[in-house]
Copies of this chain bind each other. A is one copy, B any other.
Amino acid sequence: MNIALDMMGGDYAPLEAVKGISLFLAEGGKNITLTLIGEETKVKALLLANAIPLENIVVVHAAQCIDMHEHPTKALREKQQSSIAIGFNLLATGKTDAFISAGNTGAMMVGALFSIKAIEGVTRPTIGAYIPRENGRLGLLVDAGINADCKPENLTQFAILGSLYAEHILGYQNPKVGLINLGEEEGKGNLLAQAAYPLLKENKHLNFIGNIEGRDILINKADVMVCDGFTGNVVLKMAESIYDLAKRRNINDEHFDRFNFEVYGGVPVLGVAKPVIIGHGISKDVAFKNMISTAQRMIEKDLMQKMKDVFEQKG
């Protein structure tokens, strides 16, 4: 198993990525090759400084870096030697099995969609986000902001992809899927939610529990919470702001601490053919460690094949 990591992506790169690798290895990451893509001298110096054993590590030099604010398509096309372009090239050609980056989200999405491509049958791949819940277990919000305008069919696909992720990676048996809506009763909602409800209800791959409201998002009602990316993005950023709010009010509480999104890193692009994980720009060491573990689990569980199986059945 070979997991590639963009060492130049994120606000705290490459140091926090190196520290994340250190944490991952300390917890016994075995039989895994880590391919680290970035400025070779800098990366090697940091590996040395952090006393990281080099036996299962390959450093691939990247002469360029795509900045957080560059135009995704343009940057990917023009910067062939960037860590993100190299990462997708390695993944597409089968030299690595997964690619992780906390860099330019747009460039990562473009790379995932055009170098790796969607699973056949998936109209719109999606990105989810973890949502801390009161029972201490994470919920999954899909879509978290990639698909601002959605059709009802998109929501069903997000739900299926999210459900498979929740089952095989987060470990929920028969994960409960809720449709984020403005009321509980069937028939409520905007046109999108009204049309999505029966599709979700009838889908045999889903354990659909019905509508969930804004007040249900932070509790344990649904494991997978489905909505368009506009709503999802507002919900996610509002949830993130709760942590800052609590910190500014000097509130120290185990549950409110779970709103510290620095530790979650990111969840994979769901619906593309190979494991691609886009981390939050604020990712710190724990986030990088978690993303490597997630990629490992996705490969071990062969999540991609499980997704392909479901979408093949439908065709």
Contact = CB atoms under 8 A, between A and B. Distances in A.
A38 interface: no
Nearest to A217: B238
B228 A190 contact: yes
A27 to B, nearest CB: 30
DSSP majority for the A interface? helix
> Chain copies in the assembly?
2
A315 B251 CA distance: 52
Contacts of A219: 241
Interface size class, chain A? 35 or more
A251 B253 contact: yes
Contacts of A218: 238, 241-242, 245
Contacts of A233: 182, 213-214
Nearest to A248: B134
A204 interface: no
A300 interface: no
Contacts of A230: 182, 189-190, 193, 231
A240 interface: yes
A237 B227 CA distance: 15
Nearest to A148: B190
Contact of A249 (B215, B229, B241, B255): B255
9 contacts: A134-B248, A148-B182, A213-B233, A216-B241, A217-B234, A218-B242, A231-B234, A238-B239, A251-B256
Interface of A: 134, 145, 148-149, 180, 182, 189-191, 193, 213-219, 227-231, 233-242, 244-245, 248-249, 251, 253, 255-256
